[in-house]
Amino acid sequence: MNEYGNAHAGYPAGELYIGDYHLSLRRAADALTDLSLIRILSALHGLVDLKRPLLPYNVRPGDPKAITPEKVAVHAARLGVHDADVIFLGGQDYIRLLRPCVPHLFTPLSGGMHHQRGQCRQAREQSELRRQWWQAAADLHAAHHPA
C-alpha cells in the first residue's frame, strides 16, 4: 500500500518525470554527482530519493496540495544538507521552496527553460564547468557556515 492507501505502489521517482525539461536537469545531475546523492524536489512530496515509488500527480508549487517550505525544511534536515555543498537544478518556484532551509544553495541555471536546458547540456559535456559549479557550491557553504 502506498501513502494514499492504493495497492499500486507507483513508479520510481527517477522514472516518473519524463518531460524534456526534467530530463535535461536529470542528465546534468547525473553528470554532477553519484545517483545516490540526487534528490528530486516534488511539489507534492518534497525531497524524494530517485527510487521512491510515486503515483503520477499534477501539483505545482503554490497549489493548495503543494508541499510547504516548512515540510521541505524537515526533509532537508533529515538529509543533512545544512552541512553539504548543494547544487540545485530547477526553476524559481522550486528554488523558493528550498532556499529558506538551504541558504547556501547554489543555483547555476538562469533564463527560461530553453536556456537552462542548454546550460544543462554544457554541464554534461564540460568537466571544467562542473568543477566550477562545485567550487561555487563549496564557497557558498563556507560563507554560510564559517569555521
Whether 1 is covered by a domain: the verdict is: no
Whether 4 is covered by a domain: the verdict is: no
Name the pLDDT band for 21 (thresholds 50, 70, 90): very high
Q: What is the pLDDT of residue 109?
A: 98
Share in percent of the chain as helix, strand, coil (round to 5)? 50, 10, 40
Taking Cα atoms as reference points, which of 139, 143, 119 lies closest to residue 32? 119
Whether 147 is covered by a domain: the verdict is: no
Please state the pTM of the whole predicted model.
Answer: 0.90
Whether 122 is covered by a domain: the verdict is: yes
Whether 31 is covered by a domain: the verdict is: yes
Average pLDDT over residues 65-71: 96
Whether 38 is covered by a domain: the verdict is: yes
Q: What is the pLDDT of residue 81?
A: 92
Average pLDDT over residues 33-46: 97
CB count within 10 Å of CB 27 equals: 16
What's the grid cell of residue 29? Answer: 545531475
Q: What is the pLDDT of residue 19?
A: 94
Q: What is the pLDDT of residue 79?
A: 94
Q: Tell me: the pLDDT tens digits for 94-136?
A: 999 999 999 999 999 999 999 999 999 999 999 999 999 999 9
| Residue range(s) defining the domain that contains residue 16 | 11-141
Whether 3 is covered by a domain: the verdict is: no
What's the grid cell of residue 31? Answer: 553528470
Q: What is the pLDDT of residue 106?
A: 98
Number of domains in the chain: 1
Whether 2 is covered by a domain: the verdict is: no
What's the grid cell of residue 38? Answer: 540526487
